[in-house]
Structure 1
Amino acid sequence: MLEIVIPAYEPDEKLLILIDSLKNTLRNTTDFDILIINDGSSSEYDTIFTAASKKGCRILSHRINQGKGAALKTGFSYLLNSGFKGAIVCADCDGQHRPSDILKVSAALKNDSRLLVLGCRDFIGKIPLKSIIGNKLTSLLYTMISGQNLKDTQTGLRAFSSELLPWLLQINGNRYEYEMNQLLEAKDSNIVLQCIPIETIYENRNEGTHFHPVKDSFRIYLPIFKYLFSSLLAGSIDFILLFLFMKLTNNLLFSVVISRMISSVINFLCNKQLVFNKSKVSTGESFVKYYLLAGFMLLCNYYLIRFFTFGISLPLTFSKIVTEVLLFLLSYKIQKNYIFKKNKL
């Protein structure tokens, strides 16, 4: 059994065309149903949803717009509570996904309950520049954080077993960042990601999309921004306390050690509660791991600066900047995957 979940906010006729195409393409190959979530569309779009209902689709509705992630979760909750068992494919309502590609990602599951299949676009042809830049940047950032190379992290075409529904429902995010959070949480939860090539479709330069490049990109990158804020906050506190204790004690060693201890505790608490949101992770165990990492990072900082400065004769300022950027990404990855790691399902 295949369930196709389609979140829809103020859709046009493309949604009805997709429904007809799915029925024509899939009716002779698999048993399927279509579940559409009306994410708070205005009343002028009621005719679209009424027509979809008459075509045999089930419609769930939000009273107000809550975001794509919230719409998907509404669909997932409905399927979980109804006891659905089988394959689930999430697709967009704007005509970007061909029925043949929906069938392709579904077939790739092969009854693997720990697999999340992504329909990955190759971005060949006449693609809006903002879409190319956004996808490339997000994919690069994801690779740096996770260590896994995915060429299309923003695809809305995804297939998975109904056994993953509880996992999907506990992932944070109600808007476009929800789909990125799925990918970021996958490794910790022993979920395997697999890319299946699909056709790249952008009709009318993707003018029908409700994706806001600035606002929604900020939500997608928010975990990195929060980590950066935590690091800058701790660095600022360390800087201020260093001069304060120097003025009070005139003892450099004492001032450096105490200011670093205080700022590092603040950084640890911010990362645990704000950045990685792991309030249920053991504080004692993660605290020990955090300071072991801090010692390791200190050694790496020294040897990298030494290598860049004396080994390949780079200016000290440039060596410091390069080192901090490299260690920033490495530290984020280690803290996410090991120190504040969520227990596997």
Structure 2
Amino acid sequence: MKMVVLIPSYEPDVRLINLIEDLQASIPGMPIVVVDDGSGESYGELFKQVVQLGCMLLTHKTNLGKGRALKTGFNYIRSHMKTEGAVCADSDGQHLPTDIKKIAEAVREYPGRIVMGSRRFTGKVPLRSNFGNTLTRKMYAFSTGVKLYDTQTGLRGYPAHMLDWLCELNGERFEYEMNMLLEAPGAGYALHEIPIDTVYLDENKSSHFHPIKDSVRVYMPIVKFIASSLSSFTIDFVLLFILQLISGHLLFAVVGARLGSSIVNFSLNQKFVFRKGSRASSSASLTKSLPKYYALVVIVLLLNYAFLHLLNINLGVPLLVAKLLTEAVLFLFSYWSQRKFVY
């Protein structure tokens, strides 16, 4: 069995043909699957060349997004081909055949991992690419506790046993690849980076990544968590002062406020933030995530009370200020814990 190269393509140019020819010259016999993601009739002649070169061509009638194109390719490979795995590469000439071969060899060497071609971003790198990668790298590390040098690389390799999982992941467009990185640790898949060359042609103008619209999709899981946390924080904040006013007992107020806000927070996170797969799979995960969530609630509650007691009672910091400082610290801890252990 051999590795398969999967190339999602939308409105490509001659660089797609050049990539295929270079791959066939440097890695003879490696099967190549190309997904035309609704490029349209004007690209028909170019895709005819793809077929003439011996590639399998899969076609979307309309543009469905990179994530859907990848899943179309993964589904075809798992259903119709016997292979060791798949290496995904972009069609715009940014991934060299030598690096594609390097990733394929690494998938064989590390069969339990997602292998990523990691660019070093040296030399002349377009500003939007450099900024985007830096921001995404830092947000991913904050979200998962996992440090990656290049979270946006399109050159990735997967062993065959991951194909079912890859077909079930949420995401239709560029957010699909970020969802993959967010879900991989929880699914038991480690991430392994292999250094590759950084190639940007014409200031990366051929990229179909829209800086605003697609960045919103990529960062949406983190944005939704922040919104969920702010909602539950507001409830917790109001309840704390109401219960403190009624009872005059700090511990009772902290416990009551946290209980009420945790119910809201769990519901929002389960349904909207860390949602995985179908409703059925989401329901099945409820019994697993709920005990872990409330174990975390107890830990956060104890830390919350300890910090509030230290700041408010011992140091005399006003309750409002103490609450804000405490929540800022525990927000980071809570997000990391829920992403890594709960959901």
> What's the TM-score once normalised by structure 2's chain length?
0.87
Which residue of structure 1 aligns with residue 227 of structure 2? 229
Q: Secondary structure at the match of 1:38?
A: strand
Q: Which amino acid aligns with 1:14?
A: R
Matched residues, number:
334
| Structure 1 residue 84: Cα displacement | 2.3
Is this contact kept in 2: 1:113–1:164, CA < 8 A? no
| Residue aligning to 2:12 | 11
In structure 1, distance between residues paired with 2:138 and 2:174? 18
Residue matched to 2:180: 182
Contact 2:115 2:156 in 1 (8 A): yes
Task: Work out the percentage of aligned pairs sharing the same amino acid.
Answer: 43
Following superposition, the deviation at residue 33 of structure 1 comes to 1.2
Asked if the contact 1:22/1:99 (under 8 Å) is kept, the reply is: yes
Change (3 A) 1:114 1:270: same
Q: Distance in 2 between matches of 1:183 and 1:75?
A: 19
What secondary structure sits across from 1:125 in the alignment? coil
* Aligned Cα root-mean-square deviation (Å): 3.0
Q: Return the offset for 1:300.
A: 2.8
1:74 CA displacement? 0.1
1:219-244 superposed Cα distances (whole Å, 9 cap, x missing partner): 1111111111111222233455667x
Q: 1:60 aligns with which of 58, 61, 65?
A: 58
**What's the offset of the Cα at 1:168?**
0.9
Alignment partner, residue 27 of structure 2: 26
Instruction: Name the amino acid aligned to 2:25.
Output: N
Match of 1:47 in 2: 45
Alignment of 1:113-124 (within 5 A): 113-124=111-122
CA distance in 2, matches of 1:49, 1:322: 58
TM superposition shift of 1:293? 1.4
Q: Is the 8 A contact 2:116 2:156 kept in 1?
A: yes
- The superposition leaves residues 242-285 of structure 1 with CA deviations (integer Å, 9 ceiling, x where unpaired) of 67x67xx9556687765543332111111112111152345455
Deviation at 1:183, TM superposition (A): 1.4
Aligned-partner SS, 1:174: coil
2:11 equivalent to 1:2: no
What is residue 298 of structure 1 aligned with on the other side? Answer: 301
Q: 2:6 is matched by which residue type in structure 1?
A: V
Tell me the TM-score normalised to structure 1 length. Answer: 0.87
For the Cα contact (< 8 Å) 1:6–1:35, is it kept in 2?
A: yes
Unpaired segments of 5 or more residues in structure 2? Answer: 277-281
Deviation for aligned residue 1:22: 1.1
Distance 1:197 1:46 in 2: 35
* 2:279 aligned partner: none
How far apart are the structure 2 equivalents of 1:146 and 1:195?
16
SS in 1 for 2:118: strand
Partners of 1:22 and 1:240 in 2: how far apart?
62
**Displacement of 1:85:** 2.0
Write the distance in 1 (CA, Å) between the matches of 2:325 and 2:43. Answer: 52
| Structure 1 CA distance for aligned equivalents of residues 239 and 332 of structure 2 | 26
